[in-house]
Amino acid sequence: MLYNLHTHSYTANPNVFEVVNRYPYEAIDVPYYSTGIHPWHIDMAQADAHLSIIEQRLQDPACLALGECGLDKRIEIPLEIQIQIFEKQLLLAKKYKKPVILHLVAAFQELVEIKKRLGVDVPMIVHGFSKNAQVAKQLLDNGFYLSFGKYLLCNPELGEVFAGVPSDRFFLETDTIEEGITEVYAKAALARNMNIDALTQQVGNNFKSVFKNG
């Protein structure tokens, strides 16, 4: 079984366990999903309604995670507003003991500070990781997990960063890419000099450890 931590497209492949992203305003039409307010899609007029939907969904066993949610310094929505919505979601994740799938752009210091200040004790996974070994170490040292996908396929240098991540702290994903999760696993196996079966076993173990019902 291949595990896909984060995708927006459900494939219904019986050999792939997919956590499909579904925003609060999207219907639930998949076996397992995550749900959250993406910083790009914050609508303050709808925020309370969306948070209410998220709280309801987090009580659904098929809802495996909160997310994707997070912080993005490269968009026009003020960071203060993003932080406000992000923190409300993290408190829900704590309440319902659900892992968090994070969208994070240029706000690593803020993320670490918020995690400590709110005492977030559920697993938090930075999806689509694309940064250098120094950033990876900072996040790993602060208890975060890293998920790799699109950038692993197109950036050879990221393979070296990925190879240095502890075996129990990474996930693989497709997000919005056209390539399938099989191609991501193939690239990941090459980067870590592992065979596909061993890699598949490791990701499966990580998934079951973090998500409990995977």
CATH number for the domain running over 2-211: 3.20.20.140
Please report which confidence band the pLDDT of residue 56 belongs to, taking 50, 70 and 90 as the band edges.
very high
User: How deeply is 133 buried, as exposed, middle or buried, from its count of CB atoms within 10 A (0-12, 13-18, 19+)?
Assistant: middle
The pLDDT-based confidence of 214 (bands split at 50, 70, 90) is very low
Separation between Cα atoms, residue 195 and residue 125, nearest integer Å: 24
pTM of the model: 0.96
**Helix H or strand E segment including 71:** strand 63-72
- The pLDDT value recorded for residue 97 is 97
* Known binding positions for a divalent metal cation: 68, 103, 127, 175
For the cut 60, the answer to whether the pLDDT of residue 68 exceeds it is yes
Provide the b/e sequence for 72-101 (b: ≥16 CB within 10 Å). beeeebebeebbebbebbbebbbebebbbb
CB contact at 8 A, 22 and 34: yes
Tens of pLDDT, residues 2-41? 999 999 999 999 999 999 999 999 999 999 999 999 999 9
Q: Mapping DSSP to helix (H, G, I), strand (E, B) and coil, where does residue 89 land?
A: helix
24, 50 in Cβ contact below 8 A? yes
Which pLDDT belongs to residue 212?
A: 79
The alpha-carbon radius of gyration of the chain (Å, integer) is: 16
Over 80: is that where the pLDDT of 194 sits?
A: yes
pLDDT in tens, 112-139: 999 999 999 999 999 999 999 999 999 9
> Per the annotation, where are the binding residues?
68, 103, 127, 175
The predicted structure's pLDDT at residue 213 = 55
